[in-house]
């Protein structure tokens, strides 16, 4: 009988990544140990009124990994499998990500352990508002700023902003980013992460001399990140030959019509082969499809030591946070598969979140061109800086991005010093 697979703890992965990068940084071992730890973990258990009149207790988390370079920043996830270690790892990755794109934010993450697919909109609203109240002493535009993540969206951000503003007695749009446009959201925020994935994929393709026109793309996840990245690839002339959601994937070697795929997902909450003109495949099969660009854009630990030898792509561009384990990284590197790591590839979201926050604090309204041009410039610069380190130190792109990101945070920590 096959041994049951051991669950990989994302925090172990995040800590191992610091050990790997530590060899390349000239920093004190004590400082590296500090960077491996979160600054503050808040756990709350709180009651929510359900539609049938009953009361349920939910567990929520808000973790700050670092505020050394600026206010802590990071999304809120609603998922039945989240736990404290996962949120800690996600908070840590936010710190490095903001540093890679050189934005003055630290890293945070939040989550509520729940299954939003089984809850009504009113129950999700009640839960969001009570969770906001529970974490309200710690969040704020100057301290810790949430944003959307898996199974949260602009509407959830609107409820957080409203609840926090009621507590303060005045409107505080800067307390969250990823808000609807009508209430202080930024143009370009909804598309930002998917667009950033596409921009970095384009830079990597240029380096590999791979034309985007006709490139075969496979995307795991068809939500905010995967779906929108798919649209950018499609518009650039690439063929999205496979895409999935939590229930499974669709494959068509001639290319799927991404707009049809997203319309189907929107209408039926799943991907139906007869609606999108594809064949049913599992998420495991999807990752192993022969393609040029593979974009994991769902959850952590999807590319592991087990399936990395079976991947048949030229590059992996990580839309999700933590989709590849360190043992898989080593296999991909040996096999010459180019990886654009999460802390670089999906940094478009935090970048435009920063633009949204700046606009909120200063009552500014930037237009789409200003946002798009700034995002392109920042993402292309971060890619070039990471690539230069990878070439110079002969390391893979993940280690290079960590040298850049962790190096910046370590330097800032040294400059601030340890109080008292």
Q: In angstroms, what CA-CA distances link 122 with 112, 118, 129?
A: 16, 12, 11
Catalytic residue flag (residue 109): yes
Residue 332 as a binder of ligand NAD (CB under 6 A): the answer is no
Q: How far is the CB of 330 from ligand NAD (least distance, A)?
A: 22
CA distance 343 to 97: 4
Q: Which stretch binds ligand NAD (CB under 6 A): 16-24, 149-157, 234-242, 326-334?
A: 149-157
DSSP reduced 3-state for 56 = strand
Q: How far is the CB of 68 from ligand NAD (least distance, A)?
A: 21
- 3-class DSSP string for 70-134: CCEEEEEEEECCCCHHHHHHHHHHHHHHHHHCCCCCEEEEEEEECCHHHCCHHHHHHHHHHHHHH
CA distance 258 to 264: 10
Residue 74 as a binder of ligand NAD (CB under 6 A): the answer is no
155-184 binders of ligand NAD (CB under 6 A) = none
DSSP reduced 3-state for 197 = helix
Please tell me which residue in 36, 73, 97, 109 is annotated as part of the active site: 109
Nearest partner of 343 among 193, 158, 124, judged by Cα: 193
Q: Which stretch binds ligand NAD (CB under 6 A): 46-54, 156-164, 204-212, 317-325?
A: 317-325
- Of 27 and 256, CB closest to ligand NAD: 256
Residue 304 as a binder of ligand NAD (CB under 6 A): the answer is no
Q: Which stretch binds ligand NAD (CB under 6 A): 32-40, 41-49, 135-143, 144-152?
A: 144-152
CA-based Rg of the chain, rounded to a whole angstrom?
21
228-267 binders of ligand NAD (CB under 6 A) = 244-246
Q: Which stretch binds ligand NAD (CB under 6 A): 17-25, 57-65, 319-327, 374-382?
A: 319-327
Which residue in 68, 128, 224, 301 binds ligand NAD (CB under 6 A)? Answer: 224
- Of 27 and 151, CB closest to ligand NAD: 151
Contact 293, 286 (CB under 8 A): no
- Of 91 and 410, CB closest to ligand NAD: 91
Total of chain residues touching ligand NAD, rule CB under 6 A: 24
Query: Is residue 267 classed exposed, middle or buried when 0-12, 13-18 and 19+ CB atoms within 10 A define those classes?
Result: exposed
- Of 227 and 255, CB closest to ligand NAD: 227
Q: How far is the CB of 214 from ligand NAD (least distance, A)?
A: 25
Strands lying side by side in the sheet with 239-245 = 279-281, 248-251, 239-245, 216-220, 293-296, 315-317, 338-340
Catalytic residues: 109
Residues contributing to the site for ligand NAD (CB under 6 A): 148-151, 193, 220-226, 244-246, 283, 297-299, 319-321, 346, 349
């Amino acid at each position: 009988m096959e041994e049951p697979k051991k669950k990989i703890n994302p925090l172990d992965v995040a800590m191992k990544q610091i050990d790997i990068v530590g060899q390349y940084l000239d920093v004190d071992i004590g400082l590296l140990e500090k960077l491996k730890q979160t600054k503050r973990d808040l756990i709350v258990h709180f009651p929510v009124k359900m539609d049938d009149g009953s009361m349920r207790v939910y567990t929520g988390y808000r973790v700050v990994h670092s505020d050394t370079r600026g206010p802590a920043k990071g999304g809120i996830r609603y998922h039945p499998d989240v736990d404290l270690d996962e949120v800690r790892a996600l908070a840590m990755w936010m710190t490095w990500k903001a540093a890679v794109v050189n934005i003055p934010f630290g890293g945070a993450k939040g989550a509520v352990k729940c299954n939003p697919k089984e809850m009504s909109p009113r129950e999700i609203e009640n839960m969001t508002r009570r969770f906001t109240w529970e974490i309200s002493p710690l969040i704020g535009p100057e301290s810790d700023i949430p944003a959307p993540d898996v199974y949260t969206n602009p509407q959830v951000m609107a409820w957080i902003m409203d609840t926090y503003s009621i507590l303060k007695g005045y409107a505080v749009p800067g307390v969250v980013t990823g808000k609807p446009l009508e209430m202080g959201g930024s143009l370009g925020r909804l598309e930002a992460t998917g667009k950033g994935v596409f921009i970095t994929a384009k830079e990597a393709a240029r380096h590999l001399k791979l034309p985007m026109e006709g490139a075969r793309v496979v995307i795991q996840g068809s939500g905010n990140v995967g779906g929108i990245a798919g649209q950018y690839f499609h518009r650039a002339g690439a063929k999205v030959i496979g895409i999935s959601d939590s229930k499974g994937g669709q494959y068509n070697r001639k290319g799927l019509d991404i707009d049809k795929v997203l319309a189907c997902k929107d209408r039926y909450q799943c991907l139906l082969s007869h609606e999108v003109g594809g064949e049913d495949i599992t998420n495991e099969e999807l990752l192993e499809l022969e393609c040029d660009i593979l974009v994991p854009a769902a959850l952590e630990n999807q590319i592991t030591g087990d399936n990395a030898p079976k991947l048949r792509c030229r590059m992996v561009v990580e839309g999700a946070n933590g989709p590849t384990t360190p043992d898989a990284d080593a296999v991909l590197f040996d096999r010459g598969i180019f990886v654009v790591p999460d802390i670089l590839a999906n940094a478009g979201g935090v970048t435009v979140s920063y633009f949204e926050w700046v606009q909120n604090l200063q009552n500014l309204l930037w237009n789409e061109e200003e946002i798009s041009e700034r995002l392109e410039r920042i993402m292309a610069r971060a890619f070039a800086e990471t690539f230069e380190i990878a070439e110079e130190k002969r390391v893979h792109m993940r280690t290079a991005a960590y040298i850049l990101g962790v190096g910046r945070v370590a330097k800032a920590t040294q400059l601030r010093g340890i109080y008292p």
